[in-house]
Structure 1
Amino acid sequence: MDKSKIVQQDAFPLVQFQMQMQNKTSTESNPKRRQPSVILLGIDSMSRMNFRRTMPRTAEFVSQRGWFEMEGYNKVADNTLRNLLPILLGQTVEQYPRKCGQNEVECIEKFPWIWKDYKRAGYTIALAEDMADSGVLFTNNKNGYFPGLVDHSLHALLLRMEQAMKTYVRFGYNYCIGRRLTISYVYDFCQQIISRYMEESHQPTFGYFWSSTFTHDYNFGAASLDAKFDQYLQQFKAHNLFEHAIVILYSDHGARFGELLNLSDSFLEERLPMLHIYLPPWFRHKYPKYSQALYLNRNRLSSNFDLHNTLRHILQLNATLPTDLAPLVRCPSSQSLLHTLPRERSCEDACITEHWCTCKEFIAQSMNGEMFYISKMVVYHINRWMLVHRYNEFCQRIQLSDMESAEKKMLFEENSTETMHGDIAIYRLRFRTFPGSATFQATVRLNRELKKLDNFYVPDISRLNAYHNDSLCINDVIGKKFCVCYPNTTLDPFMSNWKELKLTTLPS
């Protein structure tokens, strides 16, 4: 073929129907129970505030009857992967072994992905992301999602398309592949799944569809996505998605760097991602207590672990009490959002650590010597963390440059750990370092008697300004936050692979 004569190229995902075997035990014990499909529509780096600011048409769509916005939904970790794993696994990155062995695919296949439970229950499984070579999940498997794990995946096709067709970069990622938006392949794929399995065959389906190309690196990129996303939701409605499925529109976190973090509400912007849950009419009619619980939970504190429990609960709709669901090992106090959450719920109950918790009041502190001393201790811990992980071979040692703000936590609980031990004070610090002009935010527990930080966890420190060009010499998402490469240093192949579990090294 003479490629010089090619005028344009295009590609289309085609979904072939596959009949699923129903779970014999569940169907024999309750043959008339209707199983709702579950569709997760994820948009990267989208807070509930910025969602309403940049996507008004979509926000109007999800304000219709049947939708519930979880206004108290609070993230539990820093970046995308660390917030998605509690949803998809009910566990955290730290719970996995550092080494997966020679065959990483076999290792990751063994993880308890939530769709494995749905697969055993007779659901069809479909997964898609719009960043084939640097997406959230499974980027080390360049041939696509793992064989036997899912029924339909867009990953392999999207990879081949990026290799065979021209791409156009905008917002930092492949905005277009060929003549179409990259996200259009994801949602066209989603629409085919809806048509083949829900509309035509009434086959229960679990679908995970994730989009990053518009929103990951640009806080206002979603404004360009709004009309298109609303159009797809209207098409999904025409194909009866909202008659068959529980639909979850969610994000991993808000903006982690950029202009929005210079606003007064930046602390909330980063920590409160959007979460909207839709219950179809038949489900609301058959399970009114679950619908009522979701309504009551709109303004109560919830977390990623609660969303994971909700996905588990959908497969066990006879679990009418919170105690009917087996507790999560990682977060035993988490609950399904279809069960009423306690009105006075704490961050500890939701397994949200101090740095990410939005519930407590802080008051401004003077920029005195003590605040600078604490900030210097934080910088010391950062440098020590980089040394322990051997990134000091490629990254320069950082030093405190200046402080922007310091706040102290107000302690109201009479029986809290902090009030019981008067030598503990909790501070939230925002400071700059050099070289590299990095801006960080850290929450610390200061032991006043010992003059040291108590249980300080370096990976939880927030990096508030962009750092991609500073840290090209290493490939670890946590290390990149603190890394300023030595001049003329390139990515070392050993350092890019020494954490053999690639789930810990994916971009955020």
Structure 2
Amino acid sequence: MEPNHTRRYFVNSGKCKMLYADPFSPESMQIYKPAKLKVCTKQSDLFHLSFDRNTNRYSLHVNETILLPFGNGIQCNYSGISQRKIHATVYFEKQHELPQNINGVIAQCHVKLNSSLIQIIQQDAFPLHQVTKETRQTHRKQPKRQPSVIILGLDSMSRMNFERTMPLTAKFVRQEGWYPLSGYNKMADNTFPNVYTVLSGVSMIDEHAFRWKKYRDARMIWRDYIRAGYATAVTEDVISIPLFRQIYKTTPMPYNLRSLLLSIAETLKTYVSFGYDYCIGRRLAFSYVYDFCVQFITRHMLELNQPMFGFFWSCTFTHDSYNVATSLDRIFVDYLYLFEQLKLFDNSIVILVSDHGARFGKLMDLSDSFLEERLPLLHIYLPPWFRSTYPQYAQALAMNHNRLCSNYDLHNTLRHLLQLNATTPAMLPAVASCPSSQSLLHPLPVERSCEDACIVEHWCTCNEFVNVTIENNMRHLAEMIVTNINMWMLKNRFSKKCQRLVLTDVDKVEVKKSEMMQNIVTLRILFRTYPNVGKFRTTLKYNVQLKRIVYLDVPEISRINSYRTDAPCEWNTIARKFCFCYPNAYSQSKRSQIRHI
């Protein structure tokens, strides 16, 4: 532990002491191993798309040079895709103008070997962002220029691991106009509750008690942007169990790729890596999302001058491995440079964000693991015209660089961008789930606690803790925690499929520094359980005199090693953390329902 006089902080105020974590610390660099990019194909592209602005139609082209070695008898065709329907095969030569009633295409060329056998030369697939009369801007023109808003999400990426594994992208976002938010602190465990709060302003504190009906009732922010005349797109690169799987069923969605990618994956070969469909056909799943983003920007911003709201989330490179992002870095920054060529940064506010840091794996063995898990990436870009038109908002965003903020504040910022006349926090209606939250375009209070930002104790990084010697009473406390977990599993009827946990080791106990001399203290405990190995971290209130737990929220307990293979019999996202399935409880039918988030 560093002496106090050398301590550095992300946030340093009376109410929040958020310790600085060095991305390039010796212990983190000891485990740092750059990953090599796994390519989906080494073939040159046989097909490419073009778009005619006069006819508003895409055309599919064949690179005939690639076909020369195959001689005569070559046939090329495509099948259009719309809403999970694959249309009849259409044969063509050289190029073909595509219909407007499809949102994707699967193409192939083959050569006949004999009357019954063909050799496929190449298959490929493309998204098609079609803009019809119905989806063009029809709302009344706004009196002032409206900024487009593009959210680029990288799953499980802390600000430290971003600097460490994506140096090219990190350098890009150090350019003028980009504002890092170093005090951004997640407010829930995994992906969905963190992202859901950003997009809806609604909390999902207890997922077990959460009912899907609330999805229908919650106002997703893209609905507000649609009403304001924005073209909207929400898409991601995980297709088996998408982030918004229940919202897809219950809420009208803007442009998205889900049905298209499902159809492509059923037709072309897929390659699974790091737990996800890494390659779909001959392209990265990631590339489908960002190629679609390029089309979205081109169609609406450049050709129609229509403001856009886009949410583009990527999981395949970053979720299950802390170092695979090194292989994404060059690809990602190349897309950013392409967006620059398309003038995206002249017109749009761009938000580069994550849901949380690593939640399991080698980074959880570092001394900074508590911070690594809780401090996601957040950079916000303001275009030149916005900075000159609203200098007070740019100044506030710069001022908030080292102030505590949460998912609710980011949600308020998205609301604020539709109400730019709200020049003070009081002019923006409060969010019911967190009335004290505010837009990041307004100065946040210097003195702000986690309670003010609606971040519960377990996820809060503002408090300083010191190590406690692990003695018998601490082991007894850990046993009480495990008993509480087992009781929660029994009460909620998960114990039929999941085995009872038994404490094996207590690895670390810390006490909140400001409460050390008090009778009721806040403790953080790292412990392990049997069967197999379950590694957990929890925060609780403890009565020192009575040796009794005063407060423990079982659903908030963190599992800090992977449970993908331990709990295939259980789909509930809280129960899965604590579940080690009985051998006879493994259910193959449930595998398709589980996304390890």
TM-score by length of 1: 0.90
Counterpart of 1:119? 226
Kindly report which structure 2 residues correspond to 1:109-188, keeping only aligned pairs within 5 A, or say none.
Answer: 109-138=216-245, 145=248, 149-188=252-291
Q: Given the superposition, is the C-alpha separation of residues 384 and 47 from structure 1 closer, same or farther in structure 2, using an over 3 Å criterion? A: same
Q: In structure 2, give the amino acid aligned to 1:250.
A: V
Q: 1:95 to 1:259 in 2, by over 3 A?
A: closer
Which segments of 5 or more consecutive residues in structure 1 lack a partner in the other structure? 413-417
Cα distance in 1 between the residues matched to 2:205 and 2:188: 11
Pairwise CA distance, 1:72 = 0.8
Q: 2:557 is matched with which residue: 461, 474, 490?
A: 461
8 Å CA contact retained: 2:215, 2:250: no
Deviation at 1:459, TM superposition (A): 1.5
User: Cα 1:237–1:449, aligned 2, differ >3 Å: closer, same or farther?
Assistant: same
Which one of the candidate residues 178, 190, 195 is aligned to 2:298? Answer: 195
Separation in 2, partners of 1:54, 1:428? 29
* Aligned 8 A contact 2:207 2:573 in 1: no
RMSD over aligned CA atoms reads: 2.3
Measure how far apart 1:99 and its partner are. Answer: 8.2
Partner of 2:195: 84
Which position in structure 1 is the counterpart of 2:120?
6
Residues 474, 492 of structure 1: 8 Å contact kept: no
Higher relative contact order (CA 8 A, sep 6+): 1
Which of 323, 329, 346 does residue 432 from structure 2 map onto?
A: 329
Q: 1:432-451 maps to which residues of 2 (within 5 A)?
A: 432-448=528-544, 451=547
Which residue is 1:317 aligned to? 420
Q: Between Structure 1 and Structure 2, whose CA radius of gyration is higher?
A: 2
Deviation of the 1:443 alpha carbon: 0.6
**Structure 1 residue 11: Cα displacement:** 0.7
* Per-residue CA distance 1:9-44 (angstroms, 9 max, x = gap): 1111111124444544xx4xxx43111011010000
CA contact (8 A) 1:82 1:93 kept: yes
Seen in structure 2, the aligned counterparts of structure 1 residues 369 and 392 have a Cα distance that, compared at 3 Å, is same
- Report 1:23-422 matches (<5 A): 23-24=139-140, 27=141, 31-94=142-205, 108-138=215-245, 145=248, 149-411=252-514, 422=518
> Could you state the TM-score of these two structures normalised by the residue count of structure 2?
0.77
Identify the residue that residue 415 of structure 1 maps to in structure 2: none
Contact 1:81 1:506 in 2 (8 A): no
**Distance in 2 between residues matched to 1:386 and 1:228, nearest whole Å:** 43
Supply the AA of the counterpart residue of 1:215. Answer: T
What one-letter code is carried by the residue in structure 1 that aligns with 2:123? Answer: Q
In the TM superposition, what is the alpha-carbon distance from 1:491 to its structure 2 partner?
2.1
Q: Deviation at 1:137?
A: 1.1
| Superposition deviation, residue 455 in structure 1 | 3.4
Give the CA deviation at 1:134: 1.6
Shift of 1:170: 1.5
SS in 1 for 2:584: coil
Give SS of 1:433's match: strand
C-alpha deviation, 1:453, in angstroms = 2.4
Return 69-78 or 461-470, whichever deviates more: 461-470
- In the aligned structure 2, how far is the partner of 1:3 from the partner of 1:57? 48
Tell me, in whole angstroms, the C-alpha distance in 1 between the residues paired with 2:362 and 2:326: 15
The answer as to 2:522 corresponding to 1:426 is yes
Aligned to 1:405, the other structure's residue is in SS state strand
Deviation of residue 475 (structure 1)? Answer: 1.0
Structure 2 residue ranges without an equivalent (≥5): 1-88, 90-115
- CA shift for structure 1 position 201: 1.3
Per-residue CA deviation, residues 371-415 of structure 1 (Å, 9 max, x unaligned), is 112211111111111112211000110011011110000127xxx
After superposition, the C-alpha distances for 1:302-354 in whole angstroms (9 at most, x for unaligned) are: 11111000001001111111111111111111111000011121111111111
Instruction: Provide the C-alpha distance between the structure 2 equivalents of 1:330 and 1:394, rounded to a whole number of angstroms.
Output: 34
The structure with the largest strand share of the pair is 2
Closer/same/farther in 2, CA of residues 451 and 97 from structure 1, 3 Å limit = closer
- 2:514 partner SS: coil
Maintained 8 Å contact 1:136/1:507? no
Residue 151 of structure 2 aligns to a residue whose secondary structure is strand
Instruction: Tell me the alpha carbon deviations over residues 256-295 of structure 1, each in whole angstroms, 9 at most, x when there is no partner.
Output: 0000111111111000000010001100000000000000
Tell me the distance in 2 between the aligned counterparts of 1:16 and 1:391.
46
Secondary structure in 2 matching 1:297: helix
